[in-house]
Structure 1
């Protein structure tokens, strides 16, 4: 295997992050999201959002590389109150130190090489150094691969679910939570 690494994203990475997101969604979520949603994804528009994320304070945006290729990315930061709240709206005692892993994607052709684990562990380490104590992530209930990944690093479903409207189709997501002391594993 070529040399694998994780590094902070730069503005130069935004187009490749967008391409990975669009290609991965179209591949991995083609049965979860309506065709119109996937067809409407615009790489240039998505890249603009990632350029903003690179420059935004509080956002940890990392890319995974293998050799000279960018193969995945992770975006995480402080969890908004409504993302960490219980179903009844109550906030846990650690709400202020909980972070949200908003996106963690590895392009399918680069999967099963440890990139996701390196991305999550690197993000968790950086966020823990800034005072974070726990992470959360929302994963589509039907996304068996992502659920298995988070469970493999010791995160668990906390019993909270939400249903999003994906262009008229319900998309049920499960909230996973876990500690930030994650080992680096290949």
Structure 2
């Protein structure tokens, strides 16, 4: 997870809990106060995504509070203006999030290439359109920020996630990598990179 993502000045939390009508589903920029919920979603999503790839005890030991602390720090001190964190809401419940940042890939151009550092939906809230709404918001935000390409790394064996992106118009760009999670070659995860152009009809 990148440690720097941009958000606007914190909005009044009263707007989140007042008596005004709440949209059934929506996507907007994240607030620092939502870091705990983001951490919970990330851990739940990672436990499903890495089931069978990482040891069960490692997945069980994932700590939402540790993830939340990193997200809170990133949201309070976003750094680069084009770092963004967006959240998907079902009513008032945070059910997913996406983080986008200028690409730090060796062959990327951070002036023009954006990278989806995370896009996750709570497993209990999948198949309700939240992932698609987040992805559309990512593309729209990248376009508004002047990026001409958006990329994402996915596990090579995750056919469901690959279909999610390709059905939305994304395609492999030929790049691949292998993560050595412990630095001792005991757990390796192969990943492929997909890309899309924000200016097209994604």
- Asked if residue 41 in structure 1 is aligned to residue 62 in structure 2, the reply is yes
2:127 paired residue number: 112
Secondary structure, counterpart of 2:52 in structure 1: coil
What TM-score do the two structures reach when normalised by structure 2?
0.80
2:101 paired residue number: 77
1:26 paired residue number: 47
Larger Rg: 2
Secondary structure, counterpart of 2:70 in structure 1: helix
The structure whose residues are more often strand, as a share, is 1
The worse-fitting range, judged by mean Cα deviation, of 69-78 and 44-53 is 44-53
Secondary structure, counterpart of 1:13 in structure 2: helix
Q: Within 2, Cα distance between the matches of 1:150 and 1:158?
A: 13
1:171 paired residue number: 189
Q: Within 2, Cα distance between the matches of 1:171 and 1:153?
A: 24
Secondary structure, counterpart of 2:53 in structure 1: coil
Q: Within 1, Cα distance between the matches of 2:121 and 2:150?
A: 19
The equivalences for 1:142-153 within 5 A come to 142-153=157-168
Q: Within 1, Cα distance between the matches of 2:155 and 2:191?
A: 4
Q: Within 1, Cα distance between the matches of 2:65 and 2:110?
A: 34
Please report how far the alpha carbon of residue 31 of structure 1 lies from its aligned counterpart in structure 2 after TM superposition.
1.2
CA-based RMSD of the aligned residues comes to: 1.8
The structure whose residues are more often helix, as a share, is 1
Q: Within 2, Cα distance between the matches of 1:37 and 1:136?
A: 28
Q: Within 2, Cα distance between the matches of 1:6 and 1:182?
A: 21
2:153 paired residue number: 138
Q: Within 1, Cα distance between the matches of 2:73 and 2:169?
A: 31
Q: Name stretches of at least 5 consecutive residues in structure 2 with no aligned partner.
A: 1-22
What TM-score do the two structures reach when normalised by structure 1?
0.86
Change in Cα spacing, 1:120 to 1:38, as seen in structure 2 (3 Å) is same
- Asked if residue 154 in structure 1 is aligned to residue 169 in structure 2, the reply is yes
Aligned length: 174
Please report how far the alpha carbon of residue 28 of structure 1 lies from its aligned counterpart in structure 2 after TM superposition.
3.0
Please report how far the alpha carbon of residue 95 of structure 1 lies from its aligned counterpart in structure 2 after TM superposition.
5.3
